[in-house]
A and B are shown apart, each in its own frame.
Chain A
């Protein structure tokens, strides 16, 4: 088990090296540059040259890369050319927002998706089943940013039921310890702050959760339909177990195996930033940070964030593989 984890972590090294080379080349190939973005359209060539010299952007690209690499191994990704703060600080401030949003979206997707998929399978061929299948098709097909706009327009702008932007009302003046706003509110017993932060998660969370929801419904449904016809379910019934035991121990447990893989992969995807959704809701997570950084050619932020998100993604997938072994004894790693 330990060897398996170490091997997977070592695989991160080539992944990150390759990714950093690609990123570096890609960013330098973009038209314009940080100097122009910072100093404006009409900056004089002299000013731009001075700016580049200051940030080391006048050096040959491989020198820049080696310098970047040397600092990156010490978790120093430089400072943001936009805010002047270190990339690591920015990341630690932004990531908790994305984590909260991801958790909300996945709880929504799992909480609705698994029961719905299960019921659709048990009432195979009913209107509920057809509804679930068509609904999940729509869920996958609707572009997320469109749905995000729609939700915001309807529930925030028109009806005013839920907040439509940001992570928390500014006037609440909450204390932030961990930057997980909901958690902070609970830790400091500022219940109103926690509740407000939670409300801010609802609309972006639902928008973000629709694709995982749709996928979970479909996979749960298909998987339950498979499992109820398995021989071991017939055995369980032949043993005279109560309908409830058969359902819990023999049907659902096995039907959820493929669902758990999907949940893991989707969580990894959402964690690596929902650029569109976060932008629509002006949600201060890593997604909107990346969006801003692209427009201001904030190389340091882009490089740092994307590399750290790659680490997060690989770690989440490692967790998925480990947890799959816990669920299915046949693939348990020794």
Chain B
């Protein structure tokens, strides 16, 4: 669907960021159970041609954030608050019809497991063409030609034959390529990729990432990359938001983040990446405990129980508010009372902070 085809009130603006998320919160409430806040006050924006990474462990709320943006969370038992704007149009609370018109056309998503994300009983061709028929008013024949071109563009050989095949007849990498082709069918302005390479083996991972990068560069799509893999972040993202227990705890551009992580959690993530040059016998350095050890943000810093830098004031509220996300130099934000310090940073290098081992190298 082209922008001109939309009614004026639904027209997407080009003078604002493609995606603006402000103070997004998602609460799961089931009858008879304590409500769980999965996403809490998350804000970020993505401009055209920009790639933004949401990074964190399983359960930190990054996938829920993406589903909330797409409006794909179940309606029952879920409360979504804040604001999500696509090209200036508010998506939260928008009627189902509006969302269906935008999904697939203006915003699209690539999911983690390409096999389970494809319908096993419908040929690949139909699964690609249905997007075109729905959003671009194409006839079946026209859509089939276009679908073959799309498969070709994402690097699937012999596309006309593949269109007739079923998901189980394709390899894992090809399935993910097919999913990407579906997502790109209508040249969306926003593409959300939720761990698109996790289910693939390493060589295929690199190919898929390269493909995504080309697409962003070529078409100026805004890309949100959801991942726990710092290698993906390093290769692809312009800006990175590190999430923990539903909140953003550190924001920086890629180079700053890798060179000088400030949140001890970010430092821990970087340090826990296995390194080939670390020498034999040197143990890996994981972050203590697991994401389940988080405490509620209302009681202090959720990461404090696992943090080496934690001090008494990490667990007490200051002025009744949780640890705030604050300005931390140009282009950076940080939620931490005792951040890591680095010799090159302007902050006192003599303070007690231990330099993250991963960043020092």
B 127-167 to A, binary, CB cutoff 8 A, 1 in contact else 0? 00011001100000000000000000000000000000010
Chain B residues in 8 Å Cβ range of A327: 121
Is chain A's interface secondary structure helix, strand, loop, or mixed overall?
Answer: helix
Which residues of B (105-127) have their CB < 8 Å from a CB of A? Answer: 105, 108-109, 111, 113, 116-123, 126
- A237 and chain B: residue at smallest CB distance: B72
Q: Does A245 contact B (CB under 8 A)?
A: yes
Verify B120–A237 contact, CB threshold 8 A: no
Chain B residues in 8 Å Cβ range of A232: 116-120
Q: Does A169 contact B (CB under 8 A)?
A: no
Verify A245–B134 contact, CB threshold 8 A: yes
Chain A residues in 8 Å Cβ range of B131: 239-241
Verify A243–B120 contact, CB threshold 8 A: no
State the CA gap A329–B126 with chains docked (Å): 14
- A230 and chain B: residue at smallest CB distance: B116
Chain B residues in 8 Å Cβ range of A242: 100, 134
Q: Does B337 contact A (CB under 8 A)?
A: no
Verify B104–A330 contact, CB threshold 8 A: no
Verify A239–B103 contact, CB threshold 8 A: yes
State the CA gap A205–B113 with chains docked (Å): 46
Q: Does B255 contact A (CB under 8 A)?
A: no
**Contacts A230-B116, A232-B120; is A237 near B130 (CB within 8 Å)?**
no
State the CA gap A236–B117 with chains docked (Å): 9
Chain A residues in 8 Å Cβ range of B179: 235
State the CA gap A289–B131 with chains docked (Å): 57
**Contacts A238-B72, A249-B130; is A254 near B119 (CB within 8 Å)?**
yes
State the CA gap A253–B135 with chains docked (Å): 22
Chain A residues in 8 Å Cβ range of B116: 230-232
Chain A residues in 8 Å Cβ range of B130: 239, 241, 245, 249
Verify A238–B121 contact, CB threshold 8 A: no
**Contacts A231-B117, A328-B121, A330-B120; is A239 near B134 (CB within 8 Å)?**
yes
Chain A residues in 8 Å Cβ range of B109: 238
Q: Does A234 contact B (CB under 8 A)?
A: yes
Nearest CB in chain B: distance from A128 CB, A: 16
Q: Does A257 contact B (CB under 8 A)?
A: yes
B 173-188 to A, binary, CB cutoff 8 A, 1 in contact else 0? 0000001001000000
Nearest CB in chain B: distance from A127 CB, A: 17
A 216-250 to B, binary, CB cutoff 8 A, 1 in contact else 0? 00000000000000111011111111110100011
Chain A residues in 8 Å Cβ range of B117: 231-232, 234-235
Chain B residues in 8 Å Cβ range of A239: 103-104, 108, 130-131, 134, 182
Chain B residues in 8 Å Cβ range of A329: 120-121, 123, 166, 168
Verify B121–A240 contact, CB threshold 8 A: no
**Number of B residues, CB within 8 Å of A:** 31
- A256 and chain B: residue at smallest CB distance: B121
Verify A253–B122 contact, CB threshold 8 A: yes
State the CA gap A1–B46 with chains docked (Å): 54
Nearest CB in chain A: distance from B116 CB, A: 4
State the CA gap A327–B122 with chains docked (Å): 10
Chain A residues in 8 Å Cβ range of B108: 238-239
Verify B101–A330 contact, CB threshold 8 A: no
**Contacts A241-B130, A330-B120; is A231 near B100 (CB within 8 Å)?**
no
Chain A residues in 8 Å Cβ range of B96: 243
State the CA gap A249–B127 with chains docked (Å): 10
Instruction: Return the contact of B104 from the options A241, A243, A257, A328 (Cβ within 8 A).
Output: A241
Chain B residues in 8 Å Cβ range of A330: 120-121, 166, 168
Chain B residues in 8 Å Cβ range of A236: 119
Chain B residues in 8 Å Cβ range of A238: 70, 72, 103-104, 108-109, 111
Verify B122–A250 contact, CB threshold 8 A: yes
**Contacts A231-B117, A232-B117, A330-B166; is A240 near B100 (CB within 8 Å)?**
yes
Nearest CB in chain B: distance from A61 CB, A: 53
State the CA gap A237–B122 with chains docked (Å): 15
State the CA gap A242–B108 with chains docked (Å): 15
Q: Does B269 contact A (CB under 8 A)?
A: no
Chain A residues in 8 Å Cβ range of B111: 231, 234-235, 238
Q: Does B19 contact A (CB under 8 A)?
A: no
Nearest CB in chain B: distance from A188 CB, A: 42
Which residues of A (247-266) have their CB < 8 Å from a CB of B? Answer: 249-250, 253-254, 257
Nearest CB in chain A: distance from B207 CB, A: 21
Residue of A239, A327, A328, A330 with highest tally of chain B CB at under 10 A: A239
Q: Does B102 contact A (CB under 8 A)?
A: yes
State the CA gap A329–B122 with chains docked (Å): 8
Nearest CB in chain A: distance from B146 CB, A: 15
Verify B104–A240 contact, CB threshold 8 A: yes
State the CA gap A329–B121 with chains docked (Å): 6
State the CA gap A257–B111 with chains docked (Å): 25
Name 8 extra pairs, CB < 8 A, besides A239-B182, A240-B101, A240-B103.
A232-B118, A232-B120, A238-B104, A239-B108, A240-B104, A241-B134, A254-B119, A329-B121
User: Considering the complex of A and B, which 8 residue pairs feature the smallest CB-CB distances, nearest first?
Assistant: A240-B104, A240-B103, A231-B116, A239-B104, A329-B166, A232-B119, A231-B117, A238-B109
Partner-A contacts on B (CB < 8 A): 70, 72, 96, 99-105, 108-109, 111, 113, 116-123, 126, 130-131, 134-135, 166, 168, 179, 182
Partner-B contacts on A (CB < 8 A): 230-232, 234-243, 245, 249-250, 253-254, 257, 327-330
